[in-house]
Chains A and B, each alone.
Chain A
């Protein structure tokens, strides 16, 4: 009997605890503060409340590795950008590389690039950065050759040497005008000599010389970054650290920002949720911040065989597709129509498709096909994947199918594959036309031209071949005269609009939902696609 009473009492106590917990909140609190509103102040030390607090950022992204030799994905790289210094970096709001850990960098000749380090740059363990660290960082990237593939960005380096403590010299296998941009990527992050030369440093033991250092690492739930007390770089740090909270579902992320559990929701909220927050977020204490984005989505044609071996067929499609309708009706304005290979915000952007084809025009498309003697309707398979670039892709291709078939000129069969199969299939030539997306490695326009349109060095394996384009790409990649390079990019863009091996559809804005009172997010959503945590601060209201 006594035991039974104890059990019942324990059960009642537990139930009571649950009920009390439910009733324990302050009735006057914002619902969103049920979790963290009060706790936000717990870290403060009586200084500026805005900068004494950690930034709490919610995301649905997955972080794989924060050793720069072990990752080639945006979420992992973003942490690297905040943890490590590079010799060069693209500062906020700019598009050209500037010194970061380097005092200066310059070409000695076409294949020799020399950098001098700033003095006094320190790793978070208190050791000083020297040129040996740069050599070690590059050498281990090339030695490890991690399957993620980031090391390939540095594969043009024939050798690297430290001529003294502060001078590092890169010898390239061949001229590469984009090399300074490659040094701005996370692949070129400078790591301590403690990192093994031939294997990765465990994620919970990484550290660098950047503004932040890892305090705890659980990519399934939360990663904590603390401020590096030895950071000697130029970036001001407006907070006391960063908490990255991971959510598996976009809907959960939206709830978290509405409830005030996180201060920022960045990558990714669904289009529907963004629209809802834009309309109603203010009354829930949430603002939507939009920044220029350089992620693009595009449609590739198999130009080596029917029906797309006939340029007029490709041009007719370019003449018909209504990008504005896609951006508005499918994406609710969260993407911007893209009319050329290089997105807006990147040097060399020219809306060549708009210049050449103007508004969607069915009669002009009909004329193009008639002039080329093409029988209509032209039938083809159009492939897309549901699990890579957002749920809206399905609606987008439904819209494209409708736009093309409504003209009576095309008979489109939509096909889909999961990314696992798609990724190995698109380059085998079996798809008539297919969708892909692109996140830039760096904001140089070469990143939008060279991998796509060179007859031998494109990753699409789609038989596109244009000698003039190849020559322009050589200029883009090797000419150190920036004006000449940009001019070549613009010419290449015109060729793309004429040949239409690829049709760019949109560039996606960077969108974050931010609690009112938090500042700095707008500043960091620039075309570099890097979220610099250090500029964010504020007390979520």
Chain B
């Protein structure tokens, strides 16, 4: 019953988000065509383009078309370069997927063990240091952290490249089959290109991953502390089970249940951070395209990209809720 209710709630949730996106784009002054192309076209051409895009119709009609377009997975065509918005996702989505997955991995590798340590050694110097680390990584603006890492590891030490998914000459020689560069390099059997791509991935992934790791660290820590106070943990200790096993196998495992719950919320943080990270590292993903179209005032593209990002976040949230319900039966009651 919980799952059915949750899935049914998905529909109004999506509708509210889509409506907000639509209204926000219409609140902006001027119609999208004039804003994007004003000054570059004659008034007659602008009128033609407005009519062709349907902006001369009543707002409610435009809203209906917007919703029906989404049902058909048609998010419109960009004004400045006539690209279907769905093509932006097909071409640039792979880069964002690569970045967010790598960042998520970095966040897990940093946040989970450090959270475990902070919870286990609560109120010690180690705990205090890790909590400061968690707050700093969460609070530090992504672009600032990215610039610091670029300065240190690219400019200063010269260990890593500072921007793009791969060196231009490498990008040029790897045929784009999946639009996921690392996968394309493997499919092409080009291990040198694969390593080159990994080199380029490190700084952006660490930058974005650090942002998320602070959140993970703090959540794992607090949940572990609460779990360690539980009766069953005390019982385990009373039975003489070693502390390390109590913490890692019993307490940590249960502390992960609420952690899974908040993962859904972190998708939004991850994608929001990805926009800034992509901009900082010239990463050719959806976030950098969003900024590019914002610069060009192409509201059709912006609306389409925000709509799809919103749908991804809502869908991820739904999936996490379902997974949570499966691994923790209490959620269903």
Contact = CB atoms under 8 A, between A and B. Distances in A.
A221 interface: yes
Contacts of A418: 297
Interface in A73-103: none
Interface stretch (B11-19, B33-41, B59-67, B313-321): B33-41
Most chain A CB inside 10 Å of its own CB: which residue of B36, B45, B161: B161
A165 B10 CA distance: 67
A273 B80 CA distance: 29
B282 A222 contact: no
A384 to B, nearest CB: 15
Contact of B168 (A21, A31, A245, A255): A245
A221 B284 contact: yes
Nearest to A219: B81
Contacts of B92: 220
A262 B200 CA distance: 15
Contact of A15 (B80, B91, B109, B199): B109
Interface string B167-205: 111111100100000000000000010011011111001
Interface in A209-236: 216, 218-222, 224
Interface string B36-57: 1111110001000100000000
A175 B80 CA distance: 36
B166 interface: yes
A224 B38 CA distance: 31
Contact of B170 (A21, A39, A148, A422): A39
A14 B155 CA distance: 25
Contacts of B30: 420
Interface in B257-300: 279, 281-282, 284, 288-289, 291-292, 297
A35 B172 contact: no
A243 B164 contact: no
Contact of B108 (A11, A243, A258, A423): A11
Given A31-B154, A248-B282, A222 B168 contact: yes
Contact of B199 (A21, A30, A54, A224): A21
A54 B172 contact: yes
Contacts of A262: 168
Interface in A242-259: 243, 245, 247-249, 252, 255-256, 258-259
Contacts, number: 149
A111 interface: no
A492 B43 CA distance: 32
B154 A147 contact: no
A259 B282 contact: no
B162 interface: yes
Nearest to B203: A22
The 9 closest A-B pairs by CB, nearest first: A423-B39, A31-B158, A35-B167, A36-B167, A21-B198, A245-B168, A252-B282, A221-B284, A36-B169
26 contacts: A11-B105, A11-B108, A15-B109, A18-B205, A21-B195, A21-B201, A24-B199, A35-B166, A36-B167, A36-B170, A39-B170, A40-B169, A58-B168, A147-B41, A149-B40, A216-B172, A220-B284, A220-B288, A222-B172, A224-B172, A245-B164, A248-B292, A261-B161, A261-B163, A262-B168, A420-B38
Given A243-B172, A248-B291, A252-B163, 13 more contacts: A14-B105, A18-B202, A35-B170, A36-B168, A39-B167, A56-B168, A58-B168, A64-B81, A147-B41, A220-B292, A252-B164, A255-B150, A262-B168
Interface of A: 11, 14-15, 17-18, 21-22, 24-25, 30-32, 34-36, 39-40, 42-43, 54, 56, 58, 64, 147-149, 216, 218-222, 224, 243, 245, 247-249, 252, 255-256, 258-259, 261-262, 418-424
